[in-house]
Structures are given as C-alpha cells and as structure tokens.
A and B are shown apart, each in its own frame.
Chain A
Amino acid sequence: MNHLGEEQLILHYYCEEEDAFASDRHLGECEACRALYGSLQRTLNVVDSLPVPEPGAEYAEQVWKRIEHRLPARRGARWVWALPAPWRWAAAGAAFAALLVAAFLAGRFYPHSRQPAQLAADPQAGERILLVAVGDYLERSQMVLIELANARSPGSLDISSEQKRAVALVSENRLYRQTAGHTGDAAVASVLDELERVLLDITHAPSRLSPGELEKLRQRLEAKGILFKIRVLGSNVRNQEGQTL
C-alpha cells in the first residue's frame, strides 16, 4: 500500500474514511505515516484544549431578557399550527382548492372588459409583501450603517463594499419612500427620506476614509440618530407584518 496522504490521515482521525482497516494496518507497518499521524493527533489535541468559558447558570435567562422585546409578534394562522401535521396539510390543501375554485369562478364570471391587473389585485396580500420587503430592506440598511458606525482602523479604511451596497439600497429606498408617500404614511416616508440622505452621503464619500473622515461619518450617523429610527421603524414593520399574516 502507498503511504497515506495528509487528507487520508485527517479522515482517519475523524473516522470518516472508507477503508479504516487498511489504514490501520498500514499505520501499524509504516513508521513514516505513523509519525505524520502522531503529529496530526498532537496538533488536534492541543487545539482541543483551548478552553471555552462556561456561561453561568443564569445565562439562558439573560439571553431571554435580551431577546424577549425584540421578538416580532407571531399572530394569525394560530389555528393552523395548532392542528396535527396531517390535518395541517389537509387544511392547506382545502385552502388551495378553494383558491383554485375562486380563481376559476372569477375567470368565468368576471367582466372581461376589466383590466387584468384589477383582477389580480389583493390589497392585503400586496400589503403583506410590501411589509416583508420593507422589513428586509431596513435590516440590510441597518447592517451597512452598523458596520460603518463600528468600524475602527488605525490607518485609512476601504469602504467600497459598503458603498456598493449603499448604491443598491438607495434605489430600493426611492421605491419604498414613494410608496409610503402615496399611501399617506408620512412617518415612514420621513424616516426613509432621512435614510436615503445618509446612504447618499456614504455613496458620495471617498472609497478610502482616513480615521478623521471615518470619525466624522460616524458622528453624522450618531447626530441624526438614524440607526435608532430605523430600529424603531423595523420593529413596527415586523409587528404589522405579523398582524397581516
């Protein structure tokens, strides 16, 4: 048998090789492979002994306290989840069948002179889709701002990847801001307007920021309190999203 390669030895260590018996036999006979395997074992044993702090007895309680108020509401569809799994599938099947019948009847009897878009319109479904999209959008925006707000660098910092993300977010923002304007949701439109300005600031900044420029950017973010506003808006959106389910 040829010598065992490092990868074979790693698989042997984790007991995931195909022919463990052959490897064992080879290791018994081949000093070179045994030495290599010994070195691998010693390395992994050292890694093993890297300690992990043991969280205190109250750790789970602390985790719960920190997340409890951040859990978006889960409402609606309660009765569906309370059913046993087979019944849930039956309920879903019945709902789908009802939907098909409704679609057929609508197609059969609805005046054909109407625009197709009007047939498809379901205000509640539309609202739900919009809420999900806005919620996700706010999370992604928040992530970019958090990364920049927390960035520390002794030298200049390359923010080109954040800028690329900010460019994409700006065009999305316009869509959501205009929608909020049309639906008369002034508070949402106002936060999105502020967010858009901040994102534009980021896209127009140099792609490498000196520590001083980075600090100024951070101060602007803090002064506008935009992160807090996004968090509040995000939380409201998630709550509404739960209510429309």
Chain B
Amino acid sequence: MELTDLAFVTKARSGDADAFRALVERHSRPLFRLAFRMTGNQQDAEDAVQESFLRAWRQLGRFDERASFGTWLYRIAPNCSLDVMRSRKRRSNLSEVEDPVLALPSGDPTPERVAMSGEVRERVAEAMDELSASERTAFVLRHFEGLRMEDVGRVLGCQPGAAKHSVFRAVQKLRRALEPLVSGAR
C-alpha cells in the first residue's frame, strides 16, 4: 500500500531522510513548473525547487498535519522563487538572461513551440518580466495553479482583497502589453 504524504512527513520529522526523499520524488515536478513560471528561467527554477525542499525540511516541525503537504510546499516555493529572482536581479546582465523558450530541451518541435511564433513568445516573456514580484506571484498562482484569491492571499501573506488587486494589476499590465499582438492576430 502506498503511504500518504502525511505518513512520510511524520517519518521525516523524526529524521528519516528516506521518507523526505519520497516527498521530493512526489512533489519536485509540479514544484518545478510553478518555479519556472515564477522565475521564467530554468536554472533559477531549479535553484528555487532545491531551496524550497531545504526550507521545508527545516520547517517540518511547523507543518500543520490538518493541511495538505503539497499546499504547504506551494506556500514555500513562491517565496523561494522570489528570493532567487531578487538575487538574479542583483546579477542581472541582460545578455545572459535566458529565454524561457530557448531553455526548452532541444529536439523535435513540441506543439507549444509550433503554436507560438518567436515574436509572441518574446512578447509574452517580456510582459511577464514587467510584472512586479507580487503581481507575478499572484498571477501565476491564480492563473496557472488555479488557486482561489483567498489562497493566493495566504501564500502572499496578505488579505484576499490585496491578492485580488495584485492579480488585477498583473492581468491589466499583460493585456496592455499584449493587446496589440492579439488584436492583430485575430
């Protein structure tokens, strides 16, 4: 019988690294997708994932067993992604900024690659980069991860109203930036 996350958490809390490894195996891929959407960069996403698990290990004692471990991790990961993004900003050298699409593994073109022209990809990535850290976090959590506004607020540590406004601002900025593109493509 497969153990639940909670069973692994209980073992990990008592120092069982193998139990924690099982949690890493279960959650690292969705966490990578979240971190990639937050950071827009493969290397930064990988760093954020590692940091998230390290932070989770250190804070296991604070995990409330009534909650879902996955949701709890999803609260840690955006903050780690933000830390990585802040650190990246410090060493920002525009010529080294990795295009998230170029970071895709090479090989046969995926449907996404085919669907998106280079220009559209660039404009979307640029528009996402224009969002502030809180706008980007709120937008990624609401739009890609499907969290409700009040859960976004919990992750950001703010009221649902403030989370809602971050999402509004993000969508408005994206719409302003991409509107010429989408109306031209109609």
Task: Given A16-B148, A46-B181, decide whether A51 and B93 contact each other with a Cβ distance below 8 A.
Answer: no
How far, in angstroms, from A70 to B51 measured CA to CA in the complex? 10
CB of B179, distance to nearest CB on chain A (Å): 6
Task: Given A10-B171, A63-B53, decide whether A152 and B91 contact each other with a Cβ distance below 8 A.
Answer: yes
**Is the CB–CB distance between B186 and A71 below 8 Å?**
no
Question: Closest residue to B94 on the A side, CB-wise?
Answer: A154
- Interface of B toward A, CB cutoff 8 Å: 10, 12-15, 17, 20-21, 24-26, 28-29, 32-33, 36-37, 42, 46, 49-50, 53-54, 57-58, 60, 65, 87, 90-93, 96, 100-101, 103-105, 110, 112-113, 115-116, 120-121, 124-125, 127-128, 142-143, 148-149, 164, 167-168, 171-172, 174-175, 178-179, 181-183, 185-186
Pick from A43, A60, A68, A75: contact of B178, CB below 8 A: A43
CB of A17, distance to nearest CB on chain B (Å): 11
**A 70-101 to B, binary, CB cutoff 8 A, 1 in contact else 0:** 11111101110110010000000000000000
How far, in angstroms, from A52 to B113 measured CA to CA in the complex? 10
Question: Closest residue to A11 on the B side, CB-wise?
Answer: B164
Task: Given A46-B124, A81-B13, A152-B96, decide whether A60 and B182 contact each other with a Cβ distance below 8 A.
Answer: no
Question: Closest residue to A9 on the B side, CB-wise?
Answer: B171
Question: Closest residue to A14 on the B side, CB-wise?
Answer: B142
Name 6 A/B residue pairs within 8 A (Cβ), A-sorted: A14-B167, A46-B178, A51-B116, A59-B29, A68-B17, A150-B90
Which residues of the partner chain B approach A52 to less than 8 Å between Cβ atoms?
Answer: 33, 36-37, 100
How far, in angstroms, from A61 to B29 measured CA to CA in the complex? 11
